[in-house]
Each structure stands twice: as structure tokens, then as C-alpha cells.
């Protein structure tokens, strides 16, 4: 894939656009799932299957039927949980506890990513549609503990998920973020549209060539839209190059 300066994903050398775009950034915002950890970790499929299991237990349906309904709610509501709350009034606390009850022990520490994040000038925050507990446990397993000022999770967003505009407005307000001086790193294209409209720099994080891609087919880009400034398949390398120019 190509970034906005015309380089292949992860290749930002000798492109002044990178330095210019990030020169005024003082707030670095990261999605969690399939962004801070690589897709080949298979962490997201474990969560995804827990969501399916939750729905099967709830509705007493077979796995295929639950899976279809799960993906329908995800596309229509931004998260499956949002759909289950809207349509069935489920308890968000019980849902979040169940779906994030997963094994993280095989996730390797990412020293290069930790060093690259630590070198960033300014504030560092996590913005996730998951739970705060899930984000903290996963960051710890990755070796990223202590690198983030705070986690803004789905509960902090009053259960309104990305890509809904209110989720971002709540985030900006609670943490005093000036979007024109912030950047968001995300693996889902539609979650970058509203941030871009508010002046955030946007970076889409994608799997490396040959790695599994756990996004839905309709989420995988065929062409880069205007609201994505950069695309990278190497988050640690991308951040390291920014710091070299800061």
C-alpha cells in the first residue's frame, strides 16, 4: 500500500511530508486491538470468538447464526456490544468482562515499539472500543506499561463507540486534546474519518504482506481515501522515523 507521500507502507525515509505533518503534534493517540499488537498474535480472533460465544449463550442459537448476527451488529452499530445494548439491553459490564477473558501469555514483548513510543515528544493516550482493563493488561504483556497517560475506553465514552462522532468529542473534552495537534493510529479506516475532519493527523496500521488480516472484507481498502494521511505496516519503524525528525 502507499502512504500519502507516495512511499510504500512503513517506508518514510526522505519524505519531507512526514516531518512537516508531525512537527506540531503534541498528542499521540493509539487504538489498541490490531494496532499496538500485530494481527499475527491472534489476540483479536480470541476476542472475536468470545463475542460469538456470548451471543450463542444469550440467544441459544447455533454458531453460524450467532456469527452472522454478530457481524451485522458490528457493521451497523460500530461494535457488537453497541448493537446488543440497543436491541436487547444487555449489561455492558458483564459483556466486556466475558469477551476480554482471554489468554495473553503468548504475546511477545515489543521492545522496538516500546522504545519508539517512549521517544515520542508529548502526551500518549490509548483510545479503544474495548475495556480499560483489557487495554492495560495487553499493554503490560507487550511491555508498554507506563508509557501512556491514560486509556479512554468504551465506558469512558458512555458506551458510544468509534466511529460515532460523539466518541471522539467525549475523548477530546475529557483529556483536553486539541485535534489539530494530535495524531490517531488505527487499523480500521472508518474510525479515522471523524478525526480527520477535526484536523487530526491519521495513520492506518495494516498487516505486513503475507500476515493474516483480521479485518472484515468491507474494511480492507482497495484505494486510500483522502481522510488517511499515512499507511504503515511497521508501527515501531514509523514512530522511530518520526522521532528522528522531531
164/227 same-domain check: yes
pLDDT tens for each residue of 125-183: 999 999 999 999 999 999 999 999 999 999 999 999 999 999 999 999 999 999 999 99
- Domain end point (choices 33, 67, 99): 99
The 10s digit of each residue's pLDDT in 3-52 is 443 334 444 444 567 778 899 999 999 999 999 998 788 899 999 999 99
Report DSSP letters for 90-141, one per residue: --HHHHHHHHT----TTPPP-HHHHHHHHTSSSEEEEE-SS-HHHHHHHHHH
User: What is the rounded CA–CA span in Å between residue 222 and residue 233?
Assistant: 15
Q: Is the dihedral of CA 198, 200, 201, 203 positive or negative?
A: negative
- 83 assigned to some structural domain: yes
- Both 54 and 159 in a single domain? no
Q: Check which CATH number belongs to the domain holding 61 and give it.
A: 1.10.150.450
Q: Are residues 35 and 149 in the same domain?
A: yes
Extract the C-alpha cell encoding 209.
504482506
Domain count, the chain: 2
| 225, β-bridge pairs | none
CATH number of the domain residue 141 falls in: 3.40.50.1000
Q: For residues 55 and 145, state if they share a domain.
A: no
- Say how far apart CA 246 and CA 242 lie, in whole Å: 6
- Is 75 part of any domain? yes
The answer to whether residues 69 and 184 belong to one domain is: no
Of 60, 76, 99, the one marking the end of a domain is: 99
Does 4 reside within a domain?
no
Give percent of the chain with pLDDT exceeding 90.
78
Other beta carbons within 10 Å of 64: 10
Q: Are residues 29 and 134 in the same domain?
A: yes
Residues 75 and 113 in one domain: no
Compute the residue count for the chain.
246
Which residue, 99, 120, 145, sits at the end of a domain? 99
What pLDDT, in 10s, does the model give residues 53-109? 999 999 999 999 999 999 999 999 989 999 999 999 999 999 999 999 999 999 999
3-state secondary structure of 33: coil
pLDDT of residue 38: 83
What is the rounded CA–CA span in Å between residue 63 and residue 50?
Answer: 11
> For residue 70, what are the domain limits?
43-99
Provide φ and ψ at 83, rounded to 5°.
-65, -40
Percent of the chain that is helix, strand, coil (3-state, to 5): 45, 10, 45
Amino acid at each position: 500500500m502507499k502512504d500519502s507521500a507516495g512511499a510504500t507502507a512503513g517506508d518514510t525515509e526522505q519524505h519531507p511530508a512526514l516531518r512537516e505533518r508531525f512537527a506540531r503534534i503534541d498528542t499521540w493517540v493509539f487504538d489498541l486491538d490490531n494496532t499496538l499488537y500485530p494481527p499475527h498474535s491472534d489476540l483479536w480472533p480470541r476476542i472475536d470468538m468470545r463475542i460469538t460465544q456470548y451471543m450463542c449463550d444469550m440467544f441459544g442459537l447455533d454458531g453460524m447464526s450467532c456469527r452472522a448476527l454478530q457481524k451485522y451488529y458490528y457493521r451497523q452499530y460500530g461494535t457488537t456490544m453497541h448493537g446488543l445494548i440497543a436491541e436487547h439491553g444487555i449489561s455492558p459490564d458483564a459483556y466486556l468482562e466475558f469477551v476480554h477473558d482471554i489468554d495473553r501469555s503468548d504475546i511477545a514483548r515489543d521492545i522496538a515499539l516500546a522504545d519508539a513510543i517512549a521517544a515520542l515528544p508529548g502526551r500518549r493516550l490509548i483510545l479503544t472500543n474495548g475495556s480499560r482493563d483489557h487495554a492495560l493488561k495487553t499493554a503490560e504483556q507487550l511491555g508498554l506499561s507506563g508509557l501512556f497517560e491514560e486509556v479512554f475506553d468504551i465506558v469512558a465514552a458512555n458506551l458510544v463507540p468509534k466511529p460515532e462522532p460523539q466518541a471522539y468529542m467525549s475523548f477530546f473534552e475529557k483529556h483536553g486534546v486539541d485535534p489539530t495537534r494530535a495524531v490517531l493510529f488505527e487499523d480500521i479506516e472508518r474510525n479515522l474519518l471523524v478525526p480527520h475532519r477535526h484536523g487530526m493527523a491519521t495513520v492506518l496500521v495494516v498487516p505486513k504482506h503475507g500476515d493474516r488480516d483480521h479485518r472484515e472484507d468491507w474494511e480492507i481498502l482497495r484505494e486510500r481515501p483522502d481522510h488517511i494521511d499515512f499507511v504503515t505496516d511497521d508501527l515501531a519503524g514509523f514512530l522511530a522515523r518520526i522521532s528522528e525528525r522531531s
